[in-house]
Amino acid sequence: MMFSNLMKGNNIVLFGPPGAGKGTQAKKLVDLLHIPHVSTGDMFRCHINNNTDLGKTAKEYSNQGKLVPDEVAIAMVKDRLSQQDVTAGFLLDGFPRSVPQAVGLDTMLSALGSGLDYIINIAVSDAEIRVRLSKRAEIEGRTDDADPKVIQYRIDTYKSQSEPCLTYYRPTNIVRDIDGLGTIDEVFGRIAKIFS
Ligand code: AMP
């Protein structure tokens, strides 16, 4: 496969626990920066809806609130980041979600002559996450949000597997911490300041 060089500047990861509002904020940020939104959750849901082999694997895990295996997620993102439309930047939403994924991302970006510019970390308390996820289950009908046990499993998975990514990235000074409490526009205002 041919890889084109990625430019530095707007290679962004939107990070935070499930229910932090990543998807909502991502939509607003891609409009502001004119970069593609690369959501691994959306990509997996698309595969699940189309009943592809990848979708069948993803469904087994996501229905239980578990992460899809790292190698599957990494291969899917590697393929996506090799496409032309991300050369001027991208907003990764939902990836990386484990330290091996963060290492995988660094490896694939440096092979493309690039790297990450920002990790935007949206911080929200556990209690608020629970409220938001059960609301989202009603509104969007997401099966992985409906069961309190699955919600708790996703929070635990975030803490044990995803949150350590922040420790991995902090020494590079690219992490920007954003308070995720407030209205959508308030939170977005805090994010947009990074780019003003
Ligand atoms: P999301 O919409 O980002 O909450 O993702 C929904 C589900 O897709 C997650 O609960 C995981 O099962 C799976 N998923 C999304 N992104 C990843 C990832 N980077 N690594 C592993 N699994 C993922």
pLDDT at 78 exceeding the cut of 80 = yes
For ligand 1, whether the C-beta of 153 sits within 6 Å is no
Catalytic residue among 59, 78, 132, 154: 154
Render pLDDT for 90-139 as a digit per residue (tens, 0 to 9). 999 999 999 999 999 999 999 988 999 999 999 999 889 888 888 877 77
Quick one: what percent of the chain has pLDDT higher than 70? 93
Check residue 1 and give its pLDDT: 42
CA of 5 to the centre of ligand 1 (A): 27
Asked about 132 being catalytic, the answer comes back as no
Render pLDDT for 3-24 as a digit per residue (tens, 0 to 9). 445 555 899 999 999 989 999 9
Asked about 170 being catalytic, the answer comes back as no
For ligand 1, whether the C-beta of 161 sits within 6 Å is no
Asked about 136 being catalytic, the answer comes back as yes
For ligand 1, whether the C-beta of 25 sits within 6 Å is no
For ligand 1, whether the C-beta of 95 sits within 6 Å is yes
Check residue 145 and give its pLDDT: 66
Q: Report d(CA 10, CA 33) in Å as an integer.
A: 8
Q: What separation in angstroms does the CA of 22 have from each of 30, 60, 71, 113, 124?
A: 12, 23, 23, 27, 11
Identify the CA nearest to 72 among candidates 40, 116, 38.
40
